[in-house]
Structure 1
């Protein structure tokens, strides 16, 4: 059965006449149409760019550079959001009727899917990943059974590589959901995809084939631009247009767009690939160091290690993963050793786990030394 977008998007959104902003019509000449300050920004030092003018509502120049990088057919396949979080919120808002419809998530996974669902009064169906032996893969049959049992599910969120799992979902499992006959949207969150160093990475090119697929990416991770809050959604043009119709008129500011353009330039991409290579090298060294740790208390490193962090177990005296000890280690590192990691022990399959972001060689060396100190006293 062909995918019908009109069965997924709320009727009031389909009927929406989007706000038409000044820059939708004209963007050059003597601009006296948008009630901007003609004298310029009140800043002590002159800045590059016309900060007194509203930005391009769609930032086509940024999308043109993304087009070359992600090998997607057209700028019409891209939506830009204020981080991936705006994309998550918009997808739920345009799809789920409050108090009626639901999303499906696969814990352990990124927490904002549930937060945005609650804000939008959407239900949450949980279908845990296969966590045995730290696999963190979809239980495809259970996902499909959950979708059949919950016809009000409008959106499935799949995180690949996962957070906090650091594991890519197999392409076969993602394809199985897309080809299951599910009539809602399948959102694949690829925030960490540039750190994948094997074949099963991005599925962004699949949007040509699957009209119900939306792929989320970001400049926060591999590009090191968390501070500009620029998220990316890739999908078929009719779905992207729905998101554009619903977003705030000027959601991405001029400074963020200018920095994004620089980062996506040839020189910027070269720098990204250089840092990516260094981070993967440091990830491997960190894993090796944790695997041969000189004091007791470090357990298995879980997951596929496809991101810029590792998920490691903290063990008790009986060599069992232990939340109590893990949380003590986490707090002591932060409060007395100036090293901040993330406690993730309360999520399915993550008992006793700390999530450790890969740092520079110096940061990683400090982490390892101070972790050793803490494990000797906790």
Structure 2
């Protein structure tokens, strides 16, 4: 094909693995794409009269008084938002100007934190969901090509595939035999040989999505298993590792350590989980520069807002990283405490946890009242009763492979966990 990737500096370094050629993975129309030139791509200082912005600035008025009744806005169905000097740092930003399209400072910090050689290995998106959608749009031809997923897994892979008219091949994770009808603890694992068989049987698979730690399994996929698929010569596409929860797992378990070695690897991360910044919607793709350049050429011109970028850069400072790591340790300790408390509810029909504990949530099955087996009906009743009568919202996952009767419960604050346990015990006693 040899069309080249627009904006990418040619490299003399051989591509590894040798069977991978990114120009044969990317759709020809994407390779031929000339991206939209942003106003800030050329000049970012001076008297800026080029982008049809409002030169007078934003129109957000400061409140004249400090009376709570006049300074609060209702957001998210009733939450109070105080409109006062807390907003001053955000209002002082150039909100009337389009944001920086590239955000080099954020990318440099992420590259440094994750041990990558340069910001050329980092792409920023509006949450990981934008990265998922972009990868499908640039790699997978609608109506004729496919992705591979490993249920139970994150639901947006299938949603994006349907939106993009992309086929789906499913290779379910294996749940160890120890998780029987009695609800004994089981472990999920990737069936590498079955993934290989799927690849051998369908050459139209362009992307493989692996969630590690898994959602809802909370289980890491071993780097050895990931390597095996990356090295599998019949697969010419890209392996995507979704590491939204990686900071809650053991150090050294991230697939980012493989990026220097594999051009056919893309690792997704986010500021939503360990950094506690779900509201700013900042997702991250980490890969070798050719794929990053393709994503950059294809994304919307100003996809990351100035307020989001401002908060992200603050979150990536050394001081904030220290705070984030303390929060992680607190959540991990709370996770361990919840596991112990859940064990004490087994006489009420709560089973042993399923999967590993590598994320900020726990997947646990609800049994029949007589503990005779996993009970989807009772699990759904517990879920609905907790939400509608007790004000505790967990996630029902009983409809997913290997998750019969399961609830996914996020680790909350110490107070939230105590209340949730009390309400869960009450509900199990009733139903």
TM-score, with length taken from structure 1: 0.98
Aligned counterpart for 1:65 among listed residues 92, 109, 113: 109
Residue 196 (structure 1) aligned with residue 249 (structure 2): yes
SS state of the match for residue 236, structure 2? coil
User: Which position in structure 1 is the counterpart of 2:273?
Assistant: 221
Query: Aligned pair 1:285/2:337, yes or no?
Result: yes
Q: CA RMSD in A?
A: 1.0
What residue number does 2:172 align with?
A: 128
Partner of 1:168: 220
Cα shift at 1:88:
0.2
Aligned to 1:89: 133
Distance in 1, Cα, partners of 2:47 & 2:290: 34
SS in 2 for 1:97: coil
| 2:240 aligned residue | 187
Q: Is the 8 A contact 1:295 1:375 kept in 2?
A: no
Residue-by-residue CA offset, 1:144-178 (whole Å, 9 max, x unaligned):
00011010000000000000000001111111111
Equivalent in 377, 383, 394 of residue 341 of structure 1: 394
Aligned mates of 1:175, 1:207 — CA distance in 2: 11
**1-side partners of 2:334 and 2:99: how far apart?**
39
1:112 maps onto 2:156 in alignment: yes
> What residue ranges of structure 1 are gaps of 5+ in the alignment?
none
Match of 2:357 in 1: 305
Cα distance in structure 2, aligned partners of 1:19 and 1:135: 47
How much has 1:205 moved relative to structure 2? Answer: 2.3
- Using the TM superposition, give the Cα deviation of residue 373 of structure 1 relative to its aligned residue in structure 2, in angstroms: 0.5
How big is the shift at 1:295? 4.2
Is the Cα contact below 8 Å between 2:375 and 2:405 reproduced in 1? yes
User: Normalization by structure 2: what TM-score?
Assistant: 0.86
Matched, 1:261 2:305: no
Specify every segment of 5 or more residues in structure 2 that has no aligned partner in the other structure, as ranges.
1-17, 63-87, 180-185
- Give the structure with higher Rg (CA): 2
Q: Does 1:2 align with 2:19?
A: yes
Q: Secondary structure at the match of 1:208?
A: coil
Shift of 1:317: 2.7
1:102 and 2:146 equivalent?
A: yes
Q: Distance in 1 between matches of 2:115 and 2:327?
A: 22
Question: In structure 1, how many angstroms separate the alpha carbons of the residues matched to 2:257 and 2:225?
Answer: 16
- Three-state SS of the structure 1 residue aligned to 2:348 is coil
Paired positions, count: 377
Say whether the 8 Å CA contact 2:349–2:370 is kept in structure 1. no
Which residue is 2:409 aligned to?
A: 356
The 1-side partners of 2:377 and 2:251 are apart by 35
The C-alpha deviation readout for 1:31-89, integer Å capped at 9, x for no partner, is 11111111101111361210111111011111111122101111000000000000000
Q: CA separation of 1:227/1:312 partners in 2, compared to 1, >3 Å: closer, same or farther?
A: same
Aligned to 2:381: 328
- Structure 2 counterpart of 1:38, from 42, 47, 55: 55
Q: Is the 8 A contact 1:131 1:348 kept in 2?
A: no
